[in-house]
Structure 1
Amino acid sequence: MAEERACCVVSVSGPTDGPWSCSGVVLSRGPGLVLCQGAVFAPFLRDGPAAWAQPRALLPADLRPCPRLLVLQPSAGTRAPALGLDPSAGGLQQHEARLLALVPCGAFQQALGRAFGPAEQWRFGGEAAGDDLEALHWFAWLRVPGLDTPGEGWIARASASCLRKGEGLLACGSPFGDLCPDLFLNTLSRGVVSNVAGEENALILTDARCLPGTEGGGAFLPSPDGSRLVAVIAASLCWKGAEWVGLTLLCSLAAILRSSASVLGEAGVVVPPVPGRVAAVPAGGGQDPLGWVALVECGAVWGSGVLLAPRLLLTCRHVVEAGAPLRVTPAPGPGRPATTLNGRLVFATQESSPFDVAVVELEESVPGFVPLCLADTFLPGEEVSVVGFGALGRACGPSVTVGVLSAVVAVAGRPVMLQTTCAVHGGSSGGPLVSSRSGRLLGIVASNTRDTGAGSTYPHLNFCIPITILQPPIAHYRRTGDPSAFAGLNRVGEGVQAAWRLQRQPAHPSKL
Structure 2
Amino acid sequence: MDVPSSALLLHSSIDKDPLPQGCSGISISTDWILTHGIVLDPIIDKSYAVSNFVTNMVSGELITVPRELMSELKFRVYRDLGNDNDSRSSPLKEHHGMIVAAWQCPLLKKTFDEFFKTWSFSKSSEFTRSLRSIFLFVRIYNSESIVETSLEQALSCLLNQIPRNLIRGSSVIIESTPFGNPVFAGSIAHGVISNVVGDEGCVIMTDAYAFPGGEGGPVYIILPDSKHRIISGMVIAPLSWCRGEWVDYTFAANLMPCVLNILRKKNLPCRPITYQENIDVALDRGVVLVRCGINWGTGVLVHKDTGTFLTCSHVVAEASEREISIIMRPDKTNSCIRAKLLYRTPENQPYDIAVLRMDPQDVDPSLKSVRLSHTAILNKGEPVVSIGFPFSSSIRPTISSGVVSKSMDCALLTTCCVQSGTSGGPIINRTTGDMLGMVVCNVLSSDGTTLYPRMSLAVPATILSGPLREYLRTDNPNVLRAFTCDDAIVCKIWDFYPFLPAKL
Q: Which residue of 2 aligns with 1:329?
A: 327
Contact 1:100 1:143 in 2 (8 A): yes
Contact 2:264 2:270 in 1 (8 A): no
- Tell me whether 1:8 sits opposite 2:7 in the alignment: yes
Question: Which segments of 5 or more consecutive residues in structure 2 lack a partner in the other structure?
Answer: none
Q: Take 2:446 and 2:62, find their aligned partners in 1: how far apart are those partners?
A: 45
1:49-448 maps to which residues of 2 (within 5 A)? Answer: 51-52=54-55, 54-55=57-58, 56-57=61-62, 59-61=64-66, 63=69, 66-74=72-80, 79-80=83-84, 82-85=85-88, 91-118=91-118, 122-125=119-122, 132-150=128-146, 154-155=157-158, 157-159=160-162, 161-177=164-180, 179=181, 181=182, 183-223=183-223, 226-261=228-263, 273=270, 276=273, 288-310=282-304, 311-323=307-319, 324-331=322-329, 339-363=335-359, 364-368=361-365, 369-377=367-375, 378-391=378-391, 393-409=392-408, 415-448=409-442
Q: Take 1:157 and 1:489, find their aligned partners in 2: how far apart are those partners?
A: 54
CA-CA distance at 1:259 after TM superposition: 4.3
CA shift in 2, pair 1:464/1:491, >3 Å = closer
**1:459 is paired with a residue of what secondary structure?**
strand
Contact 1:306 1:432 in 2 (8 A): yes
CA-CA distance at 1:451 after TM superposition: 2.6
Q: Which residue of 2 aligns with 1:24?
A: 25
Contact 2:109 2:133 in 1 (8 A): yes
Q: Take 2:144 and 2:126, find their aligned partners in 1: how far apart are those partners?
A: 32
Q: Which residue of 1 aligns with 2:37?
A: 38
Deviations 1:452-496 (A, max 9, x none): 535341110010000110101101111111111111222431111
CA shift in 2, pair 1:110/1:498, >3 Å = same
Q: Take 2:434 and 2:471, find their aligned partners in 1: how far apart are those partners?
A: 21
**1:500 is paired with a residue of what secondary structure?**
helix
Greater shift, 14-23 or 436-445, is seen at: 14-23
CA shift in 2, pair 1:484/1:395, >3 Å = same
AA aligned to 1:254 is M
Deviations 1:389-420 (A, max 9, x none): 013x21322100101011112xxxxx110011
Question: Which segments of 5 or more consecutive residues in structure 1 lack a partner in the other structure?
Answer: 410-414
Deviations 1:222-262 (A, max 9, x none): 33694221111101112113321110010021233234448
Deviations 1:3-45 (A, max 9, x none): 6x7111011133899966200001122xx11000112123245
Q: Take 1:474 and 1:403, find their aligned partners in 2: how far apart are those partners?
A: 27
**1:231 is paired with a residue of what secondary structure?**
strand
- Tell me whether 1:468 sits opposite 2:462 in the alignment: yes
CA shift in 2, pair 1:92/1:309, >3 Å = same
Deviations 1:297-348 (A, max 9, x none): 0001111111112211100000001121001011369xx9861110010000
AA aligned to 2:364 is P
Deviations 1:257-307 (A, max 9, x none): 2344488x6xxxx9774685799xx999xx612111111000011111111
Contact 1:419 1:462 in 2 (8 A): yes
CA shift in 2, pair 1:201/1:303, >3 Å = same
CA shift in 2, pair 1:218/1:274, >3 Å = farther
- What is the percent sequence identity of the aligned residues? 25
CA shift in 2, pair 1:200/1:296, >3 Å = same
CA shift in 2, pair 1:200/1:159, >3 Å = farther
Q: Take 2:107 and 2:263, find their aligned partners in 1: how far apart are those partners?
A: 14
Contact 1:354 1:501 in 2 (8 A): no
**1:140 is paired with a residue of what secondary structure?**
strand
CA shift in 2, pair 1:159/1:84, >3 Å = closer
CA shift in 2, pair 1:465/1:212, >3 Å = same
AA aligned to 2:231 is L
CA-CA distance at 1:505 after TM superposition: 9.6
CA shift in 2, pair 1:447/1:257, >3 Å = same
Contact 1:13 1:20 in 2 (8 A): no
Contact 1:123 1:131 in 2 (8 A): no
Contact 2:383 2:403 in 1 (8 A): yes
**1:146 is paired with a residue of what secondary structure?**
coil
**1:478 is paired with a residue of what secondary structure?**
helix
Number of aligned pairs? 475
Contact 2:121 2:240 in 1 (8 A): yes
